[in-house]
Amino acid sequence: MNQNLAVLLLTAVSLATAQVQSSPANPDIVVRTTKAMHYRPGGTSKIAFQGTDLMQRGSGEAKVEARKNNIQIDAKFESMEDATKFGLEYLTYVMWAVSPQGRAVNLGEVSLDHGKGHVKAFTDFQTFGMIVTAEPYSAVSQPGNMVAMENMFAAGSGGEEISAKYELLRSGTYSSTNTHIQDAIFGIDSKTPLALFEARNAVRIAHVAQADRYATSILAKAELQLRQAEEAYRQKQSRTSVEAAAREAAQTAEESRVMAVKQKAEEEAQAQITAEKRAAEERASRSREEAEAQTRARAEAEAARAQAEAAQAQAESAKAEAQQAAAEAARQRVEAEKAKAEALAQQQALAAEADKARKAAAESDQLRQQAEKEKQEIRARLLQQLNSVLATRDTARGLIANMSDVLFKSGSFELLSGARERLAKVSGIVLAYQGLHLAIEGHTDSIGTDEYNRHLSEQRAQAVSDYLIAQGISSDVITASGFGKSEPVASNDTAEGRQQNRRVELVVSGNAIGNATDGSAEPTTSSNLRK
């Protein structure tokens, strides 16, 4: 009885941490907190799921098997209601893995059968939490805030619990009007594949996100794929073929929606910058005009006063000199007007030169910003591609891809087949870019002598370097170094910390992605990147 009470209390604590907050940076985003667990390699855990306030009767269990290279998840759910209860735009459920850093990865669609759900998936995360959300289609790339279930950790579940804060799309992001939504899901029934309705919904949502303006070609491709899926259904092709075509259309539509959201945000940001710059220029122009007007008024007042004093002195000196004084005054007035006209012309010329200089500076700044933007886009794309093979992070030194020691034979520098396969993919990615440099850096834990660790780290770094060179990357752009135990990233007092310290890091840099290359290597070109 006491044990059951303790389990209920732990469950209540886990659910209480799932707090929702608005994001001050983006009104379309809400922030939610849940629990994550660190799964140790070689272990198997059973993780319970409990429904949120949106689906209080829901429950489930996931079998999590931590393998050497990835983690397999087999989840089953009970008492799941139809997703349309949350709104006409919701058609299905998607399961997500959430890292402690807040990154959410789509694990796959939850297949429903009379209230029972099932999903089987794999992930490269070693520490993560799991949630289930109601979504308009299975290809979504970011979870919405209709969180129906979350994992919960009771006593004895094993592992190490960690809080994970992640972002959700606010409700209403996918909706437009009920008429449009009904057009997308009209005629939903058990005979028609659900994937076809999801594809229609995905194309509708892409239109809501203005993909027809910001991602025209991608949306057109999605619409073509949807028509092909509809035609396959009308021709009574196999359900598998129809579902595959529909999922492809939904995935393409999601790509167009994400692109549209990004392009629209960039356009709005640029418009705001332009408006602010224009307002600043107008304020500066008005200030200059006011200052110039005041200067002219003072100069004219001083000139008038000097002329009056001179005229008075001349008049008082003698009546005989009156005509001479008048003539002199007239001559001075003519010269003053001439000088004033010359000053005005010079002032206008200077203003024109200043305006020309401002325009040139603005054009130069725009070109610089465009170049930086292109570098950032290349950097982001390269980071995403490397991340699909090895865990990669973005640092001031460059993009750092991490190879753990499990990819080598224990205590050896011999690459395992899994390591060679990943390095082959890395080389294919790197060869697709110009101007990159690779620094291969080996590290060990603190066990063993300094000389042994330094030698082993150098051998592992050189083994990776030799393999990449064998894959076609020029040796001129690769450096290999071993640092032994001198640069730990975690405490060597624990097995987990020592495992993290036993690693080989691939530091990818270069001017093409906004990092200067290492001084020991020349900038790469398309000719010297390959052998």
> Taking the alpha carbons of 261, 84, 81, 233 in that order, is the dihedral positive or negative?
negative
Mean pLDDT of the chain: 84
Kindly tell me if the per-residue pLDDT of 406 is higher than 80: no
Closest among 315, 18, 10 to 165, alpha carbons compared: 18
Q: What's the pLDDT tens digit per position in 136-146?
A: 999 999 998 89
Give the pLDDT confidence of 168-210 residue by residue, as tens digits: 777 666 765 444 555 555 555 568 899 999 999 999 999 998 9
Query: Can you tell me the mean pLDDT for 13-31?
Result: 55
- Mean pLDDT over 291-313 rounds to 87
With a CB cutoff of 8 Å and minimum separation 6, the contacts of 19 are 32, 33
Closest CA to 60 of 73, 75, 82: 75
Among residues of the chain, what percentage have pLDDT more than 90? 50
Residue 527, pLDDT above cutoff 90:
no
User: What number of CA atoms fall less than 13 Å from residue 174's CA on the CB side?
Assistant: 29
Q: What is the pLDDT of residue 312?
A: 83
So what's the pLDDT on residue 68? Answer: 84
Q: Is the pLDDT of residue 18 over 70?
A: no
Please tell me the pTM assigned to this model. 0.48
Res 413 pLDDT > 90: no
Q: What are phi and psi of 143, to 5 degrees?
A: -70, 145
- The pLDDT-based confidence of 25 (bands split at 50, 70, 90) is low
**Candidate from 37-41, 237-241, 256-260, 317-321 with smallest mean pLDDT:** 317-321
Residue range 275-298, pLDDT digits in tens: 999 999 999 889 898 988 888 988
**What is the model's pLDDT at position 476?**
93
Asked whether residue 436 carries a pLDDT value surpassing 60, the answer given is: yes
Who wins on pLDDT, 507 or 336?
507
pLDDT at residue 28 greater than cutoff 90: no
Give the pLDDT mean for 324-331: 82
Residue 528 confidence (pLDDT): 40
- Total H helices, total E strands in the chain: 10, 17
Residue type, 354: A
Single-letter amino acid, residue 140: V
Report pLDDT for 519: 40
- 3: confidence class by pLDDT, cuts 50, 70, 90: very low
User: Is the pLDDT reported for residue 69 higher than 70?
Assistant: yes
Most distant CA atoms of the chain, gap in Å: 128
Look at residue 26 and tell me whether its pLDDT is greater than 80: no
- Angle at alpha carbon of residue 404, lines to 400 and 405, rounded to 5°: 140
User: Can you tell me whether residue 468 is helix, strand or coil?
Assistant: helix
pLDDT of residue 435: 86
pLDDT beyond 50 at 350: yes
In the predicted structure, residue 225 carries a pLDDT above the cut 80: yes
Q: Is the pLDDT of residue 1 over 50?
A: no
The whole-number pLDDT of residue 343 equals 80
What pLDDT does residue 368 have? 79
More confident residue, 6 or 301: 301
CB 511, CB 372: distance < 8 Å = no
Q: What is the pLDDT of residues 82-106, one digit of tens each?
A: 998 898 889 999 999 999 998 999 9
